């Protein structure tokens, strides 16, 4: 597809903004001057910001129909009384609609890719990724320890995760990873199996790490090590690892995370909603930790909007005395995407609130309206409307199924 995004304020590699065009050919950015180019589809971006698509680096899409149901409930009760019963009651169609609700919101908030981690529901979630055209990774949150009894149980979805990894080898947009629920619901032997499986398939691992003091206390008591040291020693942290949270970490842990090159995902709303605390982002950046940002769990936070997450991240770091620079925060959100010649044309166009301060700081502070989203040069959101799906019909069905699902628990 040939597209010109005309006269926007385009983000430069040094995070400044410059009025120019973005020329797209065959899914890639080919230049920044459309003089003399004719016959291309035109997007008028006058007065708007043109930025790379963002990566929502840690999400649980399948449980989207239960959005907000766990807000304000203490974490252990939330899992026991809300999340687990919802997961047990959900049908494949409900998982599909829940993932759709999340996916729609992700694109509306400027995301072109996501890293998803769900208990199961590989097929419905993959259907959503394909239908929306989203890029990213998928994995299952495998576990084999019952938190209540602390006994070993069967790891239920290992085969499904393996199927997913194999299936996604032929998918050009979505990659399969192996997943782990966290360091306390997986035995050492399961962690080892996952590490070996990931290496066998030359892929990575996606897991929650050092989220709350509960994990820290449990691992310290059983191994004498911190969560990060424990996982590092087991060899599960590497440049192919997505390690989510890292809130309850020491200075040594932060050094290890930097050394391992793991991609650490900051989820500020969920960390506050689930009473985990505020992650030491400044210390992690100072130690060269690769950082991303994600909305995490829609049940506990209700939030699927990455723009709101950026604002939350900035505000919460301010309470720790850290003025998180806009370019560092956006660097976390872009997940390696850039507007450079030859790069995939994953591009968003944002309409800032007026009066306009044409700065990237305003983009973070003011949750602008995302009017266009292009993935591989294809407009999946054009003038605020989805091009691939009937949003209204999907939301209508989702609303009905959400009520059905929630009433089945009462």
Interacting residues toward Zn ion by CB under 5 A: 296
Nearest-approach distance from CB 116 to Zn ion, in angstroms: 10
Residue 60 beta carbon to Zn ion: minimum distance, rounded to whole angstroms: 6
Q: Are 401 and 93 in contact (CB under 8 A)?
A: yes
Q: 44: part of which helix (H) or strand (E)?
A: strand 41-44
Whether the CB-CB separation of 65 and 93 falls below 8 Å is answered with: no
How far apart are CB 122 and Zn ion at their closest, in Å?
Answer: 17
Which residue's CB atom is positioned nearest to Zn ion?
296
- State how far the Cα of 144 lies from the Cα of 149, in Å rounded to an integer: 12
Give Cβ neighbours of residue 259 (< 8 Å, ≥ 6 apart). Answer: none
The token pair at 296 is 């995490």
**Which helix or strand (DSSP H or E) is residue 137 part of?**
strand 135-140
Partnered with residue 179 across adjacent β-strands are: 206
- Comparison of 21 and 296: residue with beta carbon closer to Zn ion: 296
The least distance separating Zn ion from the CB of residue 208, rounded to whole angstroms, comes to 6
* Shortest CB 404 distance to Zn ion, Å: 25
**Element spanning 7, H or E:** strand 3-11
φ, ψ for residue 29, nearest 5 deg: -80, 125
- Judged by beta carbon, residue 273 or residue 324, the one nearer Zn ion is 273
Please give the full DSSP string across 187-230, using - where no structure is assigned. -HHHHHHHHHHHHHTT--EEEEES-SHHHHHHHHHHHSS-HHHH
Q: How far is the CB of 18 from Zn ion (least distance, A)?
A: 37
Taking the least distance from each CB to Zn ion, the nearer of 269 and 402 is: 269
Q: Which is nearer to Zn ion, 119 or 135 (CB)?
A: 119
The least CB distance from residue 7 to Zn ion, in Å, is: 40
Closest separation in Å from C-beta 108 to Zn ion? 21
Shorter beta-carbon distance to Zn ion: residue 109 or 376? 109
Q: Which is nearer to Zn ion, 283 or 296 (CB)?
A: 296
Nearest-approach distance from CB 73 to Zn ion, in angstroms: 16
Asked if residue 101 lies in contact with residue 67, where contact means CB atoms within 8 angstroms, the answer is: yes
296 or 346: whose CB is closer to Zn ion? 296
| Between 245 and 372, CB nearer to Zn ion | 245
Coil, helix or strand at residue 207:
strand
Number of neighbouring beta carbons within 10 Å of residue 241: 24
**How many angstroms separate the CA atoms of 84 and 86, rounded?**
5
Instruction: Decide whether 50 or 129 has the Cβ nearer to Zn ion.
Output: 129
Q: How far is the CB of 300 from Zn ion (least distance, A)?
A: 9
With a CB cutoff of 8 Å and minimum separation 6, the contacts of 182 are: 143, 207, 208, 209, 211, 215
Contact 215, 203 (CB under 8 A): no
Distance CA 357, CA 311 (A): 16
Q: Is beta strand 241-245 parallel, antiparallel or unpaired with respect to 205-209?
A: parallel
For residue 8, list its beta bridge partners. 20
Task: Indicate the pairing of strand 3-11 with strand 49-52.
Answer: parallel
**What whole-number distance in Å separates Cα of residue 287 and Cα of residue 90?**
42
Nearest to Zn ion of 86, 381 (CB atom): 86
């Amino acid at each position: 597809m040939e597209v010109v995004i005309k006269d926007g304020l385009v983000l430069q590699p040094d995070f400044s903004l410059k009025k120019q065009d973005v020329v797209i050919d065959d899914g890639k950015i080919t230049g920044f001057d459309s003089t003399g180019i004719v016959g291309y589809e035109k997007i008028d971006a006058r007065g708007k910001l043109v930025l790379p698509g963002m990566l929502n680096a840690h999400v649980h899409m399948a449980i989207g129909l239960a959005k907000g149901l766990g807000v304000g409930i203490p974490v252990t009760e939330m899992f026991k009384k809300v999340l687990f019963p919802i997961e047990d009651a959900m049908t494949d169609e409900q998982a599909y609609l829940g993932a759709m609700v999340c996916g729609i919101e992700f694109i509306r908030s400027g995301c072109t890719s996501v890293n998803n981690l769900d208990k199961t529901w590989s097929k419905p979630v993959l259907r959503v990724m394909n239908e929306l055209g989203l890029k990213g990774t998928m994995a299952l949150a495998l576990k084999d320890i019952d938190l209540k009894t602390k006994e070993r149980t069967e790891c239920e979805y290992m085969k499904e995760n393996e199927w997913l990894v194999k299936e996604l080898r032929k998918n050009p947009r979505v990659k399969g990873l192996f997943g782990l629920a966290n360091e306390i619901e997986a035995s050492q032997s399961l962690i080892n199996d996952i590490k070996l499986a990931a290496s066998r398939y030359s892929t990575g691992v996606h897991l929650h790490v050092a989220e709350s003091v509960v994990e820290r206390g449990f691992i310290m008591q059983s191994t004498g090590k911190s969560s990060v040291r424990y996982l590092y020693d087991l060899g599960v942290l590497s440049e192919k690892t997505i390690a989510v949270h890292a809130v309850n970490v020491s200075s040594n842990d932060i050094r290890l995370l930097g050394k391992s090159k793991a991609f650490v995902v900051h989820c500020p709303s969920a960390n506050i909603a689930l009473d985990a605390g505020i992650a030491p982002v400044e210390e992690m950046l100072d130690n060269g930790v690769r950082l991303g940002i994600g909305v995490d769990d829609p049940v506990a936070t209700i939030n699927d909007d990455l723009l709101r997450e950026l604002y939350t991240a900035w505000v919460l770091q301010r309470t720790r005395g850290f003025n998180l620079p806009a370019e560092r925060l956006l660097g976390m959100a872009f997940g390696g995407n850039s507007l450079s010649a030859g790069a995939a044309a994953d591009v968003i166009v944002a309409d800032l609130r007026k009066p306009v301060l044409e700065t990237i700081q305003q983009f973070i502070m003011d949750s602008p309206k995302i009017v266009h989203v292009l993935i591989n040069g294809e407009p999946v959101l054009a003038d605020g409307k989805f091009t691939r799906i009937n949003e209204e019909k999907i939301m209508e069905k989702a609303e009905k199924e959400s009520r059905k699902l929630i009433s089945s628990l009462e």
